[in-house]
């Protein structure tokens, strides 16, 4: 028998090799086809640069499709596999209008913490929740308004007048504080991934926009050039330099031009001067104002063309559906539409909205982060640091719960959830009212009684006085809520479009506190005031033994107030706005010049100054020193402030730094806030803080030279507890 099997074996081996090679090549080809199917078009390929992807996508769109993508409620482009996307989302102090979320203190309360590091953590937590909620919504096919990742926050308008109902959305009256808190919020919200935005932030409302609400669609802001540059622009410039993704143009005109149709504002300053590369969104239905109320053009198509020429990329409204008509009529070229569309698409790519979810790191944030225990603790920390102790006669606070037998809590805001929320808010299933916080912290052995006391709008019914007879201490909860101040149309019990034309407490609230004071004689009377703005307290400022201003403190607001009342925490909140004694102290509401406004230009005596806030500890400032005597324009001044806690309780002090020119010129501010830092000291402990202040901080706008200049000369740098209480000062020379 002839042995042929070695040859056969060899052929079989080669056949097997070829067979498996064929299978491998076939599978590889199939895999390649599958992968290619994942991106049928180059714009879907994550490996390409964003610019190449944008160019490819725009080249595949009709003019009508391009226009549709520039509307806030962008429809799906089905033949390209592009899902619908709604740009309108809110997270002013927590993911808003989208169901469950952690509710942090209202924005003005965030500013009252004077803690930018804390606000970064708050915004970081908010964007975590935003991502978790967004990806869950997409999985169930929910692409509705408020489920996206592009947030129209923060509001960095200067709170120039306490009558403005939307001032609660801002970070106060000072450009420097507004800039630092705003930058911290933007960085926390947007994240630091090198490729993807965690969420996109929006600096609004650009620019010179802070009431009156009832005139916001019609008025023409005409501030002095110096106020424009030194008060209204710095916050926006700071956020642009920090990388904010979006800017929202305002309803009003500024210097005769509509903010959403002004090339000077949107191109010359925003893009050319500051280098903004993100997208510009109109305030909602602001483009209608251009033709219907400002009456600068005659119809919708012309208004559309004006906004497109100025550089508005995204229309919250409907007018950009007329972009094709504007092209057809020769008002604009299609190339302009493409130019305006590009930044908008870039934001969608940066958010990862065109990439597989698994490629976006933030898609893995779990659902249980929403209103988690960690975020609730952060909300409590923030609310506690936001509460401002305005008065504490004879150190009546804190109250020792171990020695307290009975307490009465009265007032319409004590058990009111609305008082916690402010506006542009989310909702938590664990909201803690002031009443609930006090009950929880007082302890089971303490008798806590409650009575509403009176209603917001009824001067005839007042109750609870008989209960006050047997209480060891009485807490009266007064102030206002979102029914009385807010955006135009939102404050249902406000006849003035959301603004408070008088900043005084309602008369019935003052009357109630007077009657309660008379009823309880010398027993402790603690007043807790809620609101989003400065309130002239009238006689209450004298009648109360202690006054806490709680703002709209969020879901943990009740626990925060109670922790301060019972001494679990020493108060450390500071006022980001001046509290005036009366409405008569204010200039005309419609005047956008800063003369007579804020701590920088108000020459009267305030009720409580900017930066004011008491503590349970006694902090003294023992020394202030600078690193040298003389500086040039390019230098940074290093200031060291030494302080001591001479009180009986651990606590945090907010050391504030102000600067003033020794020879002020015409229209110079009285002083300028240039730095702050929190310092925690145990009782009896001493410590120091170091602050770095660029000399450029002293710059003023030179109208003739059209730039910021630091005038040579002598400057005083001061450290104090607030803008009126300066404790240490050092002299410097700028050469």
CA-to-CA dists, residue 661 to 88, 499, 595, 665, angstroms: 45, 36, 18, 8
What is the rounded CA–CA span in Å between residue 247 and residue 488?
21
User: Does 735 participate in catalysis according to the annotation?
Assistant: no
Given a contact cutoff of 8 angstroms between Cβ atoms, the answer to whether 646 and 620 are in contact is yes
The C-alpha torsion from 575 through 578 and 579 to 581, rounded to 10°, is 160
394-419 mean pLDDT: 97
> Residue for token digits 């926050």?
153
Name the token pair of 123: 């915004």
What is the rounded CA–CA span in Å between residue 580 and residue 607?
5
Computed on alpha carbons and rounded to an integer, the radius of gyration of the chain in Å comes to 30
429-446 mean pLDDT: 97
Confidence (pTM): 0.94
285-308 mean pLDDT: 98
pLDDT digits (tens, 9 = 90+) for 160-198: 999 999 999 999 999 999 999 999 999 999 999 999 999
Q: Band of the pLDDT at 243, cuts 50, 70, 90?
A: very high
Question: What confidence score (pLDDT) does residue 5 get?
Answer: 43
Distance from chain centroid for Cα 49: 32
Q: Band of the pLDDT at 506, cuts 50, 70, 90?
A: very high
Question: What confidence score (pLDDT) does residue 22 get?
Answer: 52
Name the token pair of 424: 């542009």
CA-to-CA dists, residue 94 to 112, 370, 371, 688, angstroms: 17, 10, 10, 34
pLDDT digits (tens, 9 = 90+) for 133-160: 999 999 999 999 999 999 999 999 999 9
What 3-state class would DSSP assign to 536?
A: strand
Q: Where are the alpha helices (DSSP H) in 363-484?
A: 373-386, 418-421, 434-442, 465-468
- The one-character DSSP state at 474 is E
Please state, as a whole number, how many other Cβ atoms lie within 10 Å of the Cβ of residue 649. Answer: 15
By DSSP bridging, strand 700-702 and strand 707-709 are: antiparallel
Q: Which residues pair with 652 in a beta bridge?
A: 680
Question: What confidence score (pLDDT) does residue 26 get?
Answer: 46
Given a contact cutoff of 8 angstroms between Cβ atoms, the answer to whether 632 and 695 are in contact is yes
Q: Is the pLDDT of residue 14 over 70?
A: no
How far apart, in Å, do the first and last CA atoms of the chain sit? 112
CA-to-CA dists, residue 302 to 267, 364, 605, angstroms: 19, 45, 50
pLDDT digits (tens, 9 = 90+) for 655-706: 999 999 999 988 999 999 999 999 999 999 999 999 999 999 999 999 999 9
User: Does 499 participate in catalysis according to the annotation?
Assistant: no
CATH 3.40.50.300 corresponds to the domain 619-734:
no
Question: What confidence score (pLDDT) does residue 11 get?
Answer: 42
Given a contact cutoff of 8 angstroms between Cβ atoms, the answer to whether 470 and 476 are in contact is no
Question: What confidence score (pLDDT) does residue 459 get?
Answer: 84
Query: Where, residue-wise, is CATH 3.40.50.1700 in the chain?
Result: 376-601
Q: Which helix or strand (DSSP H or E) is residue 343 part of?
A: helix 334-350
- The one-character DSSP state at 505 is P
Q: Is the pLDDT of residue 210 over 90?
A: yes
CATH 1.10.3720.10 corresponds to the domain 376-601:
no
What 3-state class would DSSP assign to 558?
A: helix
Contacts (Cβ under 8 Å, ≥6 apart) of 356:
38, 46
pLDDT digits (tens, 9 = 90+) for 59-87: 999 999 999 999 999 999 999 999 999 99
What is the rounded CA–CA span in Å between residue 213 and residue 157?
13
508-513 mean pLDDT: 97
465-490 mean pLDDT: 95
Q: Is the pLDDT of residue 419 over 70?
A: yes
Q: What is the DSSP string of 591-660?
A: ----TT-HHHH--S--SB-TT--B-SS-EEEEEEEES-SEE-TT-EEEEEEEEEE-SSS-EEEEEEEEEE
Query: Where, residue-wise, is CATH 2.60.40.10 in the chain?
Result: 619-734
From the list 129, 169, 283, 556, the catalytic residue is 283
Q: Is the pLDDT of residue 10 over 60?
A: no
710-718 mean pLDDT: 97
What is the rounded CA–CA span in Å between residue 294 and residue 365?
46
The residue count for the chain: 735
From the list 416, 485, 487, 585, the catalytic residue is 485
Q: Band of the pLDDT at 458, cuts 50, 70, 90?
A: confident
Angle at 182 between CA 177 and CA 188, to 5 degrees: 135
Question: What confidence score (pLDDT) does residue 8 get?
Answer: 43
What is the rounded CA–CA span in Å between residue 58 and residue 43?
9
Q: What are phi and psi of 617, to 5 degrees?
A: -105, 170
Given a contact cutoff of 8 angstroms between Cβ atoms, the answer to whether 672 and 690 are in contact is no
467-491 mean pLDDT: 95
Given a contact cutoff of 8 angstroms between Cβ atoms, the answer to whether 717 and 569 are in contact is no
Angle at 225 between CA 287 and CA 656, to 5 degrees: 100
- The one-character DSSP state at 719 is E
Q: Is the peptide bond before 154 cis (omega within 30 degrees of 0)?
A: yes
E strands, 273-374, are 279-282
Question: What confidence score (pLDDT) does residue 33 get?
Answer: 39
Question: What confidence score (pLDDT) does residue 35 get?
Answer: 42
């Amino acid at each position: 028998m002839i042995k042929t099997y070695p040859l056969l074996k060899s052929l079989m081996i080669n056949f097997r090799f070829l067979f498996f090679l064929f299978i491998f090549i076939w599978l590889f080809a199939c895999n390649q086809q599958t992968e290619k199917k994942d991106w049928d078009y180059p714009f879907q390929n994550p490996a390409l640069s964003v610019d190449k992807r944008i160019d490819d996508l725009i080249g595949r769109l009709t003019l009508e499709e391009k226009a549709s993508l520039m509307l806030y409620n962008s429809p799906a482009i089905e033949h390209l596999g592009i899902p619908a996307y709604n740009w309108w989302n809110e997270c002013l102090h927590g993911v808003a209008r989208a169901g469950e979320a952690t509710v942090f203190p209202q924005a003005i309360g965030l500013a009252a913490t004077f803690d930018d590091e804390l606000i970064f953590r708050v915004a970081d937590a908010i964007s975590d929740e935003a991502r978790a909620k967004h990806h869950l919504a997409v999985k169930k096919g929910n692409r509705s308004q408020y489920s996206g990742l592009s947030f129209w926050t923060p509001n960095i308008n200067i709170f120039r007048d306490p009558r403005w109902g939307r001032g609660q959305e801002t970070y106060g009256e000072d450009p420097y504080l507004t800039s630092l808190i705003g930058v911290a919020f933007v960085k926390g919200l947007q994240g630091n991934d090198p490729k993807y935005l965690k969420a996109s932030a929006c600096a609004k409302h650009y620019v010179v926009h802070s009431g009156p609400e009832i005139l916001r669609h019609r008025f023409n802001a005409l501030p002095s050039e110096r106020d424009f540059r030194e008060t209204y622009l710095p916050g926006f410039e700071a956020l642009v330099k920090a990388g904010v993704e979006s800017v929202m143009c305002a309803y009003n005109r500024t210097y005769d031009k509509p903010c959403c149709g002004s090339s000077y504002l949107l191109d010359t300053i925003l893009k050319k001067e500051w280098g903004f590369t993100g997208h510009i969104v109109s305030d909602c239905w602001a483009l209608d104002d251009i033709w219907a109320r400002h009456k600068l053009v005659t119809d919708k198509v012309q208004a559309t063309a004006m906004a497109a020429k100025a550089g508005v990329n995204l229309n919250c409204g409907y007018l950009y559906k007329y972009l094709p008509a504007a092209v057809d009529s020769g008002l604009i070229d299609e190339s302009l539409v493409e130019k305006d569309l590009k930044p908008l698409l870039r934001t969608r790519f940066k958010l990862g909205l065109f990439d597989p979810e698994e490629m976006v790191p933030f898609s893995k944030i779990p659902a249980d982060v929403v209103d988690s225990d960690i975020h609730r603790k952060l909300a409590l920390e923030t609310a506690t640091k936001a509460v401002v102790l305005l008065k504490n006669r004879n150190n009546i606070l804190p109250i020792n719960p171990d020695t307290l037998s009975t307490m009465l809590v009265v007032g319409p805001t004590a058990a009111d959830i609305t008082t916690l929320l402010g506006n542009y808010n989310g909702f938590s299933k664990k909201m803690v009212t002031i009443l609930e916080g006090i009950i929880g912290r007082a302890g089971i052995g303490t008798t806590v009684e409650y009575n509403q006391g009176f209603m917001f709008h009824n001067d005839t019914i007042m109750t609870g006085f008989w209960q006050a007879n047997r209480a060891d201490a009485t807490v009266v909860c007064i102030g206002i809520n979102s029914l009385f101040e807010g955006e135009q149309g939102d404050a249902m019990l406000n006849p003035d479009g959301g603004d408070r034309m008088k900043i005084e407490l309602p008369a019935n609230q003052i009357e109630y506190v007077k009657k309660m004071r008379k009823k309880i004689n010398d027993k402790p009377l603690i007043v807790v005031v809620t609101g989003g703005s400065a309130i002239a307290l009238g006689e209450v400022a004298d009648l109360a033994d202690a006054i806490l201003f709680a703002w709209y403190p969020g879901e943990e607001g009740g626990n925060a107030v109670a922790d301060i009342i019972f001494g679990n925490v020493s108060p450390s909140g500071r006022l980001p706005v001046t509290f005036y004694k009366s409405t008569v102290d204010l200039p005309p509401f419609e005047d956008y010049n800063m003369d007579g406004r804020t701590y920088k230009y108000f020459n009267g005596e305030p009720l409580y100054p900017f930066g004011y806030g008491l503590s349970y500890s006694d902090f003294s400032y023992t020394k202030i020193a600078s690193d040298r005597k003389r500086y040039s324009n390019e230098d940074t001044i290093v200031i060291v402030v030494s302080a001591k806690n001479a009180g009986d309780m651990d606590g945090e002090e907010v050391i504030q730094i102000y600067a003033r020119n020794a020879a002020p010129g015409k229209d110079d501010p009285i002083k300028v806030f240039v730095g702050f830092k929190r310092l925690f000291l145990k009782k009896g402990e001493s410590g120091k803080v170091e602050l770095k202040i660029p000399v450029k901080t002293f710059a003023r706008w030179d109208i003739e030279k059209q730039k910021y200049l630091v005038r040579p000369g002598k400057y005083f740098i001061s450290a104090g507890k607030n803008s009126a209480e300066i404790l240490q000062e050092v002299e410097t020379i700028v050469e």
